[in-house]
Amino acid sequence: LPLLVGVTGGIGSGKSTVCAMLVGMGCELFEADRVAKELQLQDPEVIAGIKALFGSEVYHCDDLGVLSIDRKLIASVVFSDSRKLEALNRLIHPKVGEAFQREILRCAKEGKRILCKEAAILFESGMYHELDRIIVVAANDGLRLERAVERGMGTREEIKRRMKAQWPQEQLIKRAHYVIFNDGTLDELRAQVEQVYQSLESLVASL
Ligand code: ATP
C-alpha cells in the first residue's frame, strides 16, 4: 500500500500549491474537497439526500441539462443549523472515504508509493486517523486573507468569517508531523516542500 499523507491548512494557506508541488515531485493526489463537490453533482444518492435536506430548489438544471448547485444557499443554512451540517457530512463523507479507498487500491496496483490527501478539514472530520503522516500548511492570517481575496474566494468579510469558523492554526500545528510555513516566496515554499518530500521518500524506503 502507498504511504498515506494528509495535507491540510486553513483557507488561503497554500494547501493546493503545496500539493501541486508534491505531485511535481512524484506523489499521487486525492483532493477530498473536490471529490465531495463532484459527488454533489454526480451521485444520485447524494443529490437525493441534499434535495431532502435543503429542498430541490438548491439544484438548477440549465437548458443543456447541466446540473448546478447553490452552494451559497447551503452554506448559509448549515451555518446556523449544525444538525443539517452533520446530516450533510454523514451523506457525503462515507462516499469520499470510498473514493479514497479506491484511489489507495489504484496506487497499490500501479506501484505508486506516496498518496497525498488534500482536505480543508482533516482533523475536524476525523479522517486523519487513517493517514500515516500529516502535513500542515500555515501562513499568517493577513497573508492568507490577501491571497484568498486575490484568488476570488469571496469578499474580505466572508473570508474572515470562514477563517474564524475553522480550527485555529495552532491546533492544526500541534497534530502535524510536518509544518510548512508559507509566509515567503514560492521558491521558499518549494524548498520546504522538497525537504518534506525527501523525508517521506526515506520513510517509504525504510518500510
Ligand atoms: P483554499 O483553502 O482556499 O482552497 P489553499 O490553502 O489551497 O486555499 P492555495 O490555493 O494553494 O491555498 O493558495 C491561495 C492563493 O495564494 C493561490 O492563488 C496561490 O497561488 C497563492 N499563493 C500560495 N502560496 C503563495 C506564496 N508563497 N507566494 C505567493 N502566492 C502564493
Question: Which helix (H) or strand (E) covers residue 130, if one does?
Answer: none
Average pLDDT, rounded, for the chain: 94
Hey, which of 7, 8, 11, 16 would you mutate to test ligand 1's pocket, going by the most ligand atoms within 8 Å of its Cβ? 16
Contacts of 100 (CB under 8 A, 6+ apart): 30, 32, 35, 117
Q: What atom in ligand 1 is closest to the CA of residue 188? A: 27
95 is in an annotated binding site: no
Q: What atom in ligand 1 is closest to the CA of residue 18? A: 11
15 is in an annotated binding site: yes
pLDDT value at residue 121: 85
16 is in an annotated binding site: yes
CB of 14 shorter than 6 A to ligand 1: yes
In the predicted model, is pLDDT for residue 56 greater than 80?
A: yes
Contacts of 51 (CB under 8 A, 6+ apart): 58, 59
Instruction: Give the rounded distance of the alpha carbon of 3 from its chain centre.
Output: 18
**Per-residue pLDDT tens digits for 103-123:** 999 999 999 999 999 998 888
Percentage, residues of the chain above pLDDT 70: 100
CB of 153 shorter than 6 A to ligand 1: yes
By CB neighbour count within 10 A (0-12 exposed, 13-18 middle, 19+ buried), where does 119 fall?
Answer: buried
**Per-residue pLDDT tens digits for 143-174:** 999 999 999 988 999 899 889 988 999 999 99
In this predicted model, which residue has the larger pLDDT, 131 or 80? 131
In the predicted model, is pLDDT for residue 126 greater than 80?
A: no
> Which residue's C-alpha comes closest to atom 16 of ligand 1?
147
| Residue 117, helix vs strand vs coil | strand
CB of 159 shorter than 6 A to ligand 1: no
What are the structural domains, with CATH classification, of the chain?
A: 3-206 (3.40.50.300)
Global pTM reads: 0.92
Are 114 and 155 in contact, with CB atoms under 8 Å apart? no
